[in-house]
């Protein structure tokens, strides 16, 4: 019994010794883990947290303010400091501007249209010979005083464009003269009659053209224009026609 007891005590001592060794190994392992874990946390904090804040501030905040100031503030100052200088016009350019400002509708048409277009001008569904005679009759009443063309075109119920072309045509053919005047702060023309157009309309129905006793007609003869009943009747008819047309 004593031997068994001794063997058990020896085994127990061995087991205890083994446990002590295990405990010592565990302590060493724990100490090494602590030694490795703490520096890792510090380096992680230094490497990740602190540099990240500094670089973020430097890279994002500061350059953004500087570029914003340079891009927005400085160009605005330059634009104010250097105003655009107005180009000085030459004497010829000023004269041309004045000429254009004083151009009338007739002068604009003269520049646009050729001589043939003016001389052959016609108004649709209008007898141009009759219209010309009417213009000359109206101007003949005014004699040398003439008439403002705007007043004449209203009387004839013509547009200013048609009236202007007609005035150019009558001037080219020598029936009227145009005098440029400033009226109500606008440049216009006064039309003055130069010569009356020759028209065959007034003698179309004259009895003398078909008279059967023309050979016997004379101022001193028995048959004379001074006492011809045919001429008298014809004149009365023509006077009635002209009064109706007016």
Domain residue extents for the chain: 94-193, 201-245
Of the candidates 58, 82, 62, 60, the residue with the CA atom closest to the CA atom of residue 70:
62
pLDDT, position 40: 47
Of the candidates 243, 232, 169, 234, the residue with the CA atom closest to the CA atom of residue 202:
234
Query: Considering the entire predicted model, what is its pTM?
Result: 0.42
- DSSP label at residue 183: E
Q: Percentage of the chain surpassing pLDDT 90?
A: 3
Q: Compute the mean pLDDT over every residue in the chain, rounded to the nearest whole number.
A: 74
Residue 44 has pLDDT above 50, yes or no: no
The CATH class of 94-193 is: mainly alpha
pLDDT, position 144: 80
Banded pLDDT at 107 (limits 50, 70, 90): confident
- How far is residue 181's CA from residue 189's CA, in Å, rounded to a whole number? 6
Kindly state the tokens that stand for 46.
């230094």
């Amino acid at each position: 019994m004593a031997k068994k007891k001794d063997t058990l005590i020896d085994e127990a001592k061995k087991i205890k010794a083994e446990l002590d060794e295990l405990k010592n190994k565990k302590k060493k392992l724990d100490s090494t883990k602590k030694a490795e874990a703490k520096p890792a946390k510090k380096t992680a904090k230094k490497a990740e947290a602190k540099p990240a804040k500094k670089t973020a501030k430097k890279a994002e905040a500061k350059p953004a303010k500087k570029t914003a100031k340079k891009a927005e503030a400085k160009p605005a100052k330059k634009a104010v400091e250097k105003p655009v200088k107005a180009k000085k016009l030459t004497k010829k350019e000023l004269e041309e501007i004045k000429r254009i400002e004083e151009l009338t509708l007739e002068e604009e048409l003269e520049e646009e249209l050729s001589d043939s277009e003016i001389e052959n001008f016609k108004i649709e569904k209008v007898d141009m010979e009759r219209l010309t005679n009417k213009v000359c009759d109206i101007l003949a009443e005014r004699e040398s005083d003439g008439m403002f063309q705007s007043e004449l075109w209203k009387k004839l119920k013509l547009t200013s464009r048609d009236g202007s072309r007609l005035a150019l045509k009558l001037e080219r053919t020598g029936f009227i003269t145009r005098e440029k005047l400033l009226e109500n702060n606008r440049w216009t023309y006064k039309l003055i009659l130069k010569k009356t157009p020759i028209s065959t309309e007034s003698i179309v129905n004259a009895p003398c053209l078909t008279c059967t006793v023309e050979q016997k007609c004379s101022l001193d003869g028995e048959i004379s224009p001074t006492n011809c009943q045919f001429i008298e009747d014809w004149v009365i008819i023509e006077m009635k026609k002209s009064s109706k047309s007016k």
